[in-house]
Structure 1
Amino acid sequence: MSKTALILIDIQNDYFADGRWPVAEMDAVAANAALLLARFREAGLPVVHVRHEMQSASAPFFVAGTPGAEIHPSVAPADGEPVIVKHKANSFRDTALKETLDAAGVTDVVICGAMSQMCIDAGARAAADFGYAVTVASDACGAKDQVFDGRTVAAADVHAAIMAPLAMSYGKVLSTETVVAGIG
């Protein structure tokens, strides 16, 4: 029998418009993540929050101990919901995420958060590699413009370029509405 957990990755203050490293459409991303969070809580399913902290005080964002590194209030952890602190893009690397999921009997994960091209990509691929059935809530994930070879790639294009291979080889990529409708 399968058991699904929600993993909210890096929905932290620095990614919002008034933060140190704004991500495109982060308010909409967080609103969709909050819908997922409410539905998982209502269904009594496991929720795990992941928070990135940079280990250097000179890092451009997510500096440990700063307000920017805190989880955004729109998806604040409730009492008893685990918060995993990570220092790398992959939420499983050098953390207790896998142990936390396994202890809860989790077989399937729904992933949301930021940034699509870094921590969502790394986390989804690692989850699949560990044998979890992966679903990424695409409209509850956000990307940032990137520059490559002197060319700016718009956040929406970066996001699509990540979601496509995840959907092809690592799991399902669905809308928040579709994920919410399938819970319960």
Structure 2
Amino acid sequence: MSTKALIVVDIQNEYFPQGKLSLVDINKAADNAALVIASAREKCHTVIHIRHEMPSIDAPIFTPNTAGVEIHEKVKPIEGEAVVVKHYPNSFRETALKELLDKEGIQEVTVIGAMSHMCVDATVRAAVDFGYTTTTVHDACATLDLEFNGTTVPAAHAHATIMAAIEFLYGEVIDTQTWIAR
């Protein structure tokens, strides 16, 4: 039994061009995520999908019971893989994620998904706080251009900043091909 798990965070239709919150290079990130997922399955790692959904049916994004909240076809779960629905950026907050990981004896997690600067970051930091060894696959994650105080921050800069912060103290940050080769 493997003590490793892959956490696939929010690779949902809402983030693709047909959705309401399209991310920069989401298709490329999803293609890489699909490769990581296939490799994790081959390695018999636990694969857990996270799906963000707002608690209100009036929400402007991630509205319950809409196509936007569905996991994208490129990374669909297969039979036996858990799907955890969350309402906050941190995939552990008020969900069964930690319980699922602990039940499987997981000690190490790999995190991929969307958005780099929000839910991926929050999930990685929480995983470390709970004592899991953490790896983030940077090219299987995506984000969007941000704005703060009149300054636009290109998605590539936001992504790089978050990955640098994660790598600084929260765990290893590697690319898809390096992760697969292990």
State the TM-score, normalizing by the size of structure 1. 0.97
Q: Distance in 2 between matches of 1:26 and 1:14?
A: 11
| Local SS of the residue matching 1:40 | helix
Aligned identity (percent) is 51
State the TM-score, normalizing by the size of structure 2. 0.98
Quote the RMSD (CA, aligned, Å).
Answer: 1.1
- The answer for the alignment partner of 1:57 in structure 2 is 57
Q: Distance in 2 between matches of 1:2 and 1:72?
A: 26
Question: Counterparts of 1:24-173 in structure 2 under 5 Å?
Answer: 24-173=24-173
Structure 2 residue ranges without an equivalent (≥5): none
Tell me how far 1:98 sits from its aligned partner: 0.3
- Number of equivalenced pairs: 182
Tell me how far 1:2 sits from its aligned partner: 7.0
1:53-81: per-residue Cα shift (whole Å, max 9, x none)?
01123322111110010000111010010
Structure 1 residue ranges without an equivalent (≥5): none
Q: Distance in 2 between matches of 1:135 and 1:82?
A: 20
Which residue identity is paired with 1:181?
A: A
For the pair 1:21 / 2:5, whether they are aligned, the reply is no
Which residue identity is paired with 1:124?
A: V
1:1-41: per-residue Cα shift (whole Å, max 9, x none)?
97210000000001001111101100001000000110111
Contact 2:2–2:46 (Cα < 8 Å) also in 1? no
- The answer for the alignment partner of 2:3 in structure 1 is 3
Q: Distance in 2 between matches of 1:125 and 1:170?
A: 6
4+ residue segments displaced more than 4 Å = none
Contact 1:2–1:108 (Cα < 8 Å) also in 2? no
